[in-house]
Amino acid sequence: MAKRRVVVALGGNAILSKDASAQAQQEALRQTAKYLVQFVKQGDELVVSHGNGPQVGNLLLQQAAGSTETNPAMPIDTAVSMTQGSIGYWLQNALREELVNAGLTQSVATVVTQVEVSETDHAFEDPSKPIGPFYTREVAEQQHVEHPDYRYVEDAGRGYRRVVPSPKPVNVVEADVVENLVDNGIIPVSVGGGGVPVVRVGNRLEGREAVIDKDFASEKLAEQINADTLIILTAVDHVFVNFNKPDQKSLTKVTVPELKQYIEEGQFAKGSMLPKVQAAIDFVEHTDHGQTVITSLENIGEFLASGEGTIISKVAENATK
């Protein structure tokens, strides 16, 4: 297989499940690194991005609990940058360890990444991005009493989570830095948590209280660095239609028009699979040669060996299975 430039987007929930301790998250990333290094072994240029929904939500809760007049909690944009640093620190060390174990010499570097959004994005008036832990309805109602400014919604049947504004990315500010690192054989960890949301005010970049969806930010980065493949990792090996129904069907090779039709049918959950599918479509539509793959971390070996996963392209090629 020819060398490709690959952006792999990890979900925040792949790093943190039930145990929020630093030790548990570092151990999860060591396991993740074993899968990611497979791309490097076959000669691909690897760029890693990651979510931070659970981590930034937990950090905001910790800050709110300990906030005082003389030691106030930091705003969301700063909390995003803090989790970029902490997760990047864990991930670059995990990758470095696995690279050395495999006899590889590449370096890994985390880029604290700013992502430009529009000041007039309607998302600022309609918070929709879930962050932090899942709650029962009763606990979410109590959290709302304690934090009246917080908004909680039911998230894909899994419980209630806090939601914050999630504007669409228009530019990855440090994309040129990421591209320079890749060109020099270095593996970048970038757009962590979707990047720090900023707006351009004259020559200044100002942070905003929001969390950008990491799949849309990863797509924008993949565009800007001329990636060949965007791989969005999730909990399942394939995207499904009629999910959890008797006529459930996995999608293997699928075209953009087919996916748009499935979106119109309401096939994908708004808080989970829908943004991944929309980001996949964006990358394919905005590049001449690119393809998007949606699959699980555990399926990476099968994807590399036989192309197993949901592969999105512009034109039909045995469209669906």
Looking at per-residue pLDDT, the higher value among 143 and 112 belongs to 112
> 55-90: per-residue pLDDT in tens?
888 898 898 889 899 999 899 999 999 999 999 999
Determine which one of 194, 195, 214, 290 is catalytic.
214
Question: Which of 268-284 are b and which e, b meaning 16 or more Cβ less than 10 Å from the residue's Cβ?
Answer: beebbbbbbbbbbbbbb
Please give the order of strands across the beta sheet that includes 114-117: 169-172, 114-117, 196-201, 204-207
Whether the Cβ atoms of residue 123 and residue 157 lie closer than 8 Å to each other: no
12 is catalytic: yes
- Rounded to the nearest 10 degrees, the angle between the axes of helix 214-224 and helix 273-286 is 10
User: How much is the average pLDDT of 42-62?
Assistant: 91
In whole angstroms, give the CA distance from residue 314 to residue 221: 20
Helices and strands in the chain, H and E counts: 9, 17
Q: Which amino acid is at 248?
A: Q
13 is catalytic: yes
Cβ count within 10 A of residue 266: 9
Q: Is 214 noted as a catalytic residue in this protein?
A: yes
CA 192/CA 49 separation, integer angstroms:
6
Note the pLDDT of residue 123: 95
Out of 129, 132, 271, 290, which one is annotated catalytic?
A: 129
- To the query of whether residue 260 is one of the catalytic residues in this protein, the response is no
Chain centroid offset of residue 251 CA: 21
Q: Which of 53, 57, 276, 290 is catalytic?
A: 276
Per residue in 136-156, pLDDT (tens digit) is 999 999 988 988 888 899 887
Instruction: Find the mean pLDDT for residues 257-278.
Output: 92
Read off the tokens for 156.
Answer: 């894909």
Catalytic residue among 12, 51, 53, 194: 12
Give me the phi and psi of 68, to 5 degrees please. -135, 170
- How much is the pLDDT for 106? 96
Least confident of 63-77, 145-159, 196-210, 260-274: 145-159
CATH of 5-117+167-313, one of 3.40.50.720, 3.40.190.10, 3.40.50.300, 3.40.1160.10: 3.40.1160.10
Q: Where in the chain is the domain with CATH 3.40.1160.10?
A: 5-117+167-313
Q: Which residues pair with 108 in a beta bridge?
A: 187
Q: What's the rounded Cα separation, in Å, for the pair 212 and 74?
A: 17
